[in-house]
Structure 1
Amino acid sequence: MSAETRPTPDPLAETPPTVPVRTAAVIPAAGRGVRLGPGAPKALRALSGTPMLVHAVRAMANSRAVSLVIVVAPPEGVAEVSALLSDYALPERTDFRVVPGGETRQESVRLGLAALPEDVTTVLVHDAARPLVPVDTVDAVVEAVRAGAPAVVPALPLADTVKEVEPVAGGGPEPVVATPVRARLRAVQTPQGFDRAALVRAHETVPVDGEGATDDAGMCETLGLPVVVVPGHAEAFKVTRPLDLVLAEAVLARRRANDGY
């Protein structure tokens, strides 16, 4: 077609509607965290005077990409967690919602997904026990999902050699069966990021088995969906044991000294 016969664009023609891009974070916090010992549920343990859950919610809300944070609480603790969040200063640009969870983490994430508004297209799933993840890590995960990856995990290379063993009942010596190549291994962190449709499909397809899946990206792998890794951060460690609390307090003390955090 020559330039003379090519149709002239109509400036009044309707342009296709822009698809909204909205990101929400789901934080499953319905577990008790028995490895930290007796007392309050792990997510409600204080870290520098503030519950870990509040630190985790702030970590998600610090990203300007995140417009909604859904906390999945124990069914009997929804009112308590809602009141707790209202007692602490949280970024005004981000909405917060507390919903009841299930018996397993997998069920709790599914219930959190069910509570998302229809216009959310990108979903982060974050451990309440990772209260100190930097905002740059959150943003890197969101950007990778928005660039087209259906599932994204932040991760770090391993510092230690890993052995695969044959478990032995009773805690006796365990025979080594393989030594994986360390350069190919990564320690996965959260938040994990997903195209919403991919994550919903995974939760609709993968059945709850025993204690349920603890890794949403692994559920996507089960369906054959590609999962990609972005750099994690040393401060995104999981607070599981009493020694982790000591390390977390040290990180917060350094942040206050350096950044006024």
Structure 2
Amino acid sequence: MHAAAIVAAAGSGSRLGADRPKALVLLAGRPLVAWAVEGLLVGGVADVVVTVPAIERAAFAAVLPSTVRIVDGGDTRTASVRAGLAALPREADVVLVHDAARPLTPPDVVARVLGALTAGAQAVVPVLPVVDTTILVADDGTIAEAVPRAPLRRVQTPQGFDRGTLAAAYAALPVGTELTDDAAVVRAAGVPVVTVPGDERSAKVTVPHDLTLAELAVTLDGSSGTVAR
């Protein structure tokens, strides 16, 4: 099995209050995207494609290994993943899609996703249980219903796929359709998605508070300069 990964890194840093693309925001002195790419490589991925804002290609090239392929992303996540798929090496038969905004995803999570693909799954996502009480809220703001949380899960990345399966699912997705993640794309094509355990360290960096927590995690882990394990 030859595993490649697409890292979606074309998003802005507006909600993070940053003056640069979110993936280039520093965490413990290194850009978020550098952490994310390292985790994938340590976890067993052979090739990485990073989708970036076209005007920031040089900035990304300056902080990523020379072996990483950098391509222009699109205006949406779906467009960026399509661009990443087109840039994958021919020999890759499985592909992981990862968010640059999940910088501290442990390599063990990557390995679990790859393990499920090796075992024959066509699509795999890492998940975590929902621990808070979860409710449905009516239009007037009152609680309409409490949702049983036992079957609920929080979905993370990297999400892994048989390459042909993911490519076919994207080809079948109507132009202009935007789904929340790649698992939703393959599910729309009728493909079952297997789950594996995720990790709390895979939290997504979206707002300044998230970055503060990630900085604290790096400090407590004692792994500044290397990906969290």
Q: TM-score, normalised by structure 1?
A: 0.82
Q: In the alignment, is residue 160 of structure 1 matched against residue 127 of structure 2?
A: no
Q: Deviations over 1:56-103 (max 9, x none)?
A: 11111112x2110110001111222112215xxx9xxxx311001111
Q: Which residue of 2 aligns with 1:46?
A: 26
**What does residue range 1-261 of structure 1 map to in structure 2 within 5 Å?**
21-63=1-43, 65-86=44-65, 95-166=67-138, 168=139, 173-209=140-176, 212-256=178-222
Q: Deviations over 1:93-121 (max 9, x none)?
A: xx311001111000000100100122101
- Per the TM alignment, residue 227 of structure 1 is displaced from its structure 2 partner at its CA by 0.3
- Per the TM alignment, residue 207 of structure 1 is displaced from its structure 2 partner at its CA by 2.4
Is contact 2:30–2:225 with CA below 8 Å preserved after alignment? no
- Distance across 2 between alignment mates of 1:22 and 1:257: 28
State the number of aligned residues. Answer: 227
Structure showing greater relative contact order (alpha-carbon pairs closer than 8 Å, 6 or more residues apart): 2
- Distance across 2 between alignment mates of 1:196 and 1:258: 33
- Per the TM alignment, residue 154 of structure 1 is displaced from its structure 2 partner at its CA by 0.3
Aligned-partner residue type, residue 220 of structure 1:
V
Is contact 1:122–1:146 with CA below 8 Å preserved after alignment? no
Aligned-partner residue type, residue 228 of structure 1:
V
Is contact 1:28–1:128 with CA below 8 Å preserved after alignment? yes
- Distance across 2 between alignment mates of 1:205 and 1:259: 41
Q: Which residue of 2 aligns with 1:16?
A: none
Is contact 2:127–2:197 with CA below 8 Å preserved after alignment? yes
- Per the TM alignment, residue 241 of structure 1 is displaced from its structure 2 partner at its CA by 1.2
- Distance across 2 between alignment mates of 1:42 and 1:259: 19
Q: Deviations over 1:183-211 (max 9, x none)?
A: 0000001000001011101111112446x
- Per the TM alignment, residue 179 of structure 1 is displaced from its structure 2 partner at its CA by 2.7
Is contact 1:43–1:53 with CA below 8 Å preserved after alignment? yes
- Distance across 2 between alignment mates of 1:79 and 1:207: 33
- Distance across 2 between alignment mates of 1:159 and 1:111: 36
- Distance across 2 between alignment mates of 1:38 and 1:49: 15
Structure 1, 125-134 or 30-39: larger mean CA deviation: 30-39
Displaced runs of 4 or more, over 4 A: 257-261
- Distance across 2 between alignment mates of 1:249 and 1:236: 13
Aligned-partner residue type, residue 233 of structure 1:
D
Percent same amino acid among aligned pairs? 46
- Distance across 1 between alignment mates of 2:189 and 2:142: 32
Is contact 1:155–1:229 with CA below 8 Å preserved after alignment? yes
Q: Is the radius of gyration larger for structure 1 or structure 2?
A: 1
Q: 1:216/1:259 Cα in 2 relative to 1: closer, same or farther (>3 Å)?
A: closer
- Per the TM alignment, residue 259 of structure 1 is displaced from its structure 2 partner at its CA by 11
- Over aligned residue pairs, what C-alpha RMSD do you find? 2.0
Structure 1, 250-259 or 148-157: larger mean CA deviation: 250-259
- Distance across 2 between alignment mates of 1:27 and 1:200: 16
SS at 1:66 equivalent: coil
- Per the TM alignment, residue 164 of structure 1 is displaced from its structure 2 partner at its CA by 2.4
Segments of structure 2 that go 5 or more residues without pairing to the other structure are none
- Per the TM alignment, residue 240 of structure 1 is displaced from its structure 2 partner at its CA by 0.9
